[in-house]
Structure 1
Amino acid sequence: GSAAPAQPGALPERIGRPRRGAPSLREVWHVLTRRYRTRSAVVLALMVSQAFFYNAIFFTYALVLTSFYGVDATRIGLYIVPFAAGNVLGPLLLGPLFDRIGRRPMIAATYALSGVALLLTGIGFVAGVLDATTQTLAWSAVFFLASAAASSAYLTVSEVFPLEMRALAISIFYAVGTGVGGFAAPALFGALIETGSRINVFGGYAVGALLVLGAAAVAWRWAVDAERKPLEEVAPPLGSGPPNG
């Protein structure tokens, strides 16, 4: 006899390999360090550099404004508005270009331009040609680029690993990036600002700029061209497909 007809609203019978469970930490570690070690290195460079870069400015801008520009502490909150605007407008306006132009060139461009912009801002800071307002506007322009760059780091880690482990991969790289870059930057800049030397603070900015410039070079060479592709094509599910590097 023929099979009974499916009842209305019933799900179709699943054909093929059953869905596998969540991978173990050991398997995730193996995938990150063996199967996709190049992608892991790219993501690590992006996450650590953007965390250091971002926190170097955001968590020390108040100290710079009060220590070097004499801004009253009660007015510091007003200077957060341009930062917020740059953070919102960067991903909003530049985000669509990651699909139109491509992931790899846009990641490299936003990271590289962020580094160059911070270097130029630091030079203006050392030369004393900026006041509190223009310094804040310059930082906001840097954040316009850096926020898009930081967003691309999270976009990358969410796309280039197998579906079953993407959430855990995001957690791992976020923790490492925040631990290395997020904690180191405020501590370093706090110490540099305490010296009262503009050139010392510029040295910190130069470190942040060099980190994102290095990440830009890494992305340009090894990042994945994931735009307009199914995620399963970018990273096949665990247990299927050859290693992609």
Structure 2
Amino acid sequence: MTTLRLADPGEAADLASFLSRLLRYDRAAAVRLQAAPAAAAEGGVLAVFGRLPLGGSGVVAVRTARLGEQRTTPLDATVSAGQLLEALDEQAAALGVPPMVTGPAWTGMLPPRSGWRPLGALPGAPVVAAVAGAVAEFRTRSEAMPVEDRTRAVLDALADEIWSRPVDTAARLPLRAVHAAQVLGFLRPGAELSVFQAGGWLRLSCPHGSVALRRTAAPGSGLGLTPLS
């Protein structure tokens, strides 16, 4: 098993938190790992891509971790998120790379690495408040329904209606992206967020990670996850 040395235990703890949150929503989640050879002596960066099941196009999350050693060969592997978490030693800041798995379709269609242009900045506090308001609205409207009408299809349609709304009219970033960033622990109250676009992709960049989704996804495609606090 290939072992990666992370820069410090803090990097390992942050990565463990990301994987744990991802597995909360998809126990069979796979992640794609990418690390390029580092030109600098201090080491390189490991990028971990995961997908939250938030509709037909989904939301791709990106968490990076600083490596504590210089790589001479590139790494590009799709592995089980659960096995990766089990192979992570936080105290030793070491990450074992488990055997590769046959990746789901999304792992072959990652957000572009370059070509991103800024669309604007979003203040963190109002964004967090918007997510809280959306959660409250979902609960209020769903609880007002007769019990016999609260089918999965009806609840998913309601959630899709709410989370497809733009949190920012200029960037047209849907609340779905902000919700994904929140449940993965990327949002911090008071932190400024940045929105970027590259082709049909939108990216929300947060201090602790980023999420990307296809802007061209049609509303009503089905939200596979109902709002949670």
Q: TM-score, normalised on structure 2?
A: 0.29
Which one has the largest radius of gyration?
1
More strand as a share of residues: 2
Structure having greater relative contact order (Cα 8 Å, sep ≥ 6)? 1
Q: Comparing both structures, which one devotes a greater share of its residues to helix?
A: 1
